[in-house]
């Protein structure tokens, strides 16, 4: 992986902020040593060969915007019969997850560096068991709503990559985004809500530092869990 993030075309509307972050010594070492074993670039993910990537065929979960990777590591550790592909653009987060994966010896996790929207376009239709979108950037200003990950065109793309019966699980602490997500997901003809409105907080989604901070600030968290028809 290069020291500098891959350039993204300037005019495309991206769902992420370009941001730099300081890397700890441990993250720097993890990136140098573990990237060849667990990492891939989005641009190298097509054609997608999960058997080559994971060394087996198993139901596949894609986590979009894995952040520091705590949720990915925790869920993958508790779910060894499925494979987890995390996708993130933030280098310190990628490095942190590499470190977690190695320390916890998680053979069922791989980490893609790059734009998740591009990754999803390159995956075969009907191929995923689940897509997780936990605490996507809320882009609160109206003029930035076009950057949101959960919007009709992206949802149609994510849904098309799910196998029939596969799950799209989103969570957010941003009340207005939660309402918008729910309207968008309800409006997609290929998705069906597994609950009556918001889902009860699922025990299998770990509480991260991000969520604790939201709860301390008085922002309740909404989970939305839909399956593909
Ligand atoms: C608010 S953070 C939440 C991180 C993590 N899911 C959590 O719960 O702590 C959103 C993350 O999504 C990543 N992200 C946003 N759009 C993305 C995209 N198109 N491809 C890959 N990562 C993306 C950002 O870099 C950021 O790390």
**What pLDDT is stored for residue 96 in this prediction?**
97
| pLDDT tops 80 at residue 24 | yes
pLDDT over 70, % of the chain: 95
- Look up the CATH architecture of domain 40-228: 3-Layer(aba) Sandwich (3.40)
For residue 87, which atom of ligand 1 is closest to its CA? 21
Between 17 and 112, the higher pLDDT residue: 112
The per-residue pLDDT for range 124-175, each reduced to its tens digit, is 999 999 999 999 999 999 999 999 999 999 999 999 999 999 999 999 999 9
Taking alpha carbons only, the member of 156, 83, 161 closest to residue 128 is 161
pLDDT digits (tens, 9 = 90+) for 90-119: 999 999 999 999 999 999 999 999 999 999
Q: Report how far residue 98's alpha carbon sits from residue 102's, in angstroms, rounded to the nearest whole number.
A: 6
* pTM (predicted TM-score): 0.95
Q: To test ligand 1's pocket by mutation, which of 6, 13, 67 has the most ligand atoms within 8 angstroms of CB?
A: 67
Residue 57 phi, psi (nearest 5): -110, 120
Of the pLDDT bands very low, low, confident and very high (cuts 50, 70, 90), residue 20 is confident
Strands 83-88 and 109-113 turn out to be parallel
pLDDT in the model for residue 9? 55
From atom 10 of ligand 1, which residue's Cα is the shortest distance away?
136
Span 31-49, mean pLDDT?
A: 96
For residue 151, count other CB atoms closer than 10 A to its CB.
Answer: 16
Distance from C-alpha of 98 to C-alpha of 218, rounded to nearest angstrom? 32
Residues contacting 72, CB < 8 A, separation 6+: 63, 66, 84, 86, 97, 100, 109
Q: Give 197 Cα–ligand 1 centroid separation in angstroms.
A: 24
Measured from the Cβ of residue 23, the count of other Cβ atoms closer than 10 Å reads: 16
Domain locations in the chain as residue ranges:
40-228
Q: How far is the CA of 60 from the centre of ligand 1 (A)?
A: 19
- Which residues make up each annotated binding site for substrate? 141, 173, 208-211
For the segment 185-214, the average pLDDT, to the nearest whole number, is: 95
Instruction: Report the chain's mean pLDDT, rounded to a whole number.
Output: 94
Mutual orientation of helices 152-161 and 175-187 as an angle, nearest 10°? 60
- Selected residue with higher pLDDT from 113 and 209: 113
> By percentage, how much of the chain surpasses pLDDT 90?
90
The pLDDT, as a whole number, for residue 18 is: 77
């Amino acid at each position: 992986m290069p020291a500098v993030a891959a350039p993204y075309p300037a005019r495309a509307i991206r769902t992420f902020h370009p941001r730099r972050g300081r890397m700890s010594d441990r993250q720097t070492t993890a990136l140098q040593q573990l990237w060849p074993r667990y990492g891939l670039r989005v641009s190298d993910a097509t054609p997608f060969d999960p058997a080559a990537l994971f060394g087996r065929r198993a139901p596949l979960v894609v986590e979009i915007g894995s952040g520091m990777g705590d949720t990915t590591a925790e869920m993958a550790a508790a779910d060894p019969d499925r494979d987890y592909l995390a996708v993130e653009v933030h280098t310190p987060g990628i490095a942190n997850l590499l470190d977690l994966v190695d320390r916890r010896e998680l053979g069922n996790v791989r980490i893609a560096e790059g734009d998740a929207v591009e990754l999803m376009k390159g995956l075969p239709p009907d191929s995923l068991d689940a897509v997780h979108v936990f605490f996507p950037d809320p882009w609160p200003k109206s003029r930035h709503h076009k950057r949101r990950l959960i919007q009709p065109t992206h949802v149609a793309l994510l849904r098309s990559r799910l196998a029939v019966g596969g799950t799209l699980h989103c969570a957010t602490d941003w009340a207005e985004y939660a309402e918008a997500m729910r309207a968008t997901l309800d409006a997609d003809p290929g998705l069906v809500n597994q609950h009556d409105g918001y889902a009860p907080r699922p025990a299998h989604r770990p509480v991260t530092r991000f969520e604790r901070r939201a709860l301390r600030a008085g922002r309740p968290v909404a989970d939305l869990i839909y399956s593909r028809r």
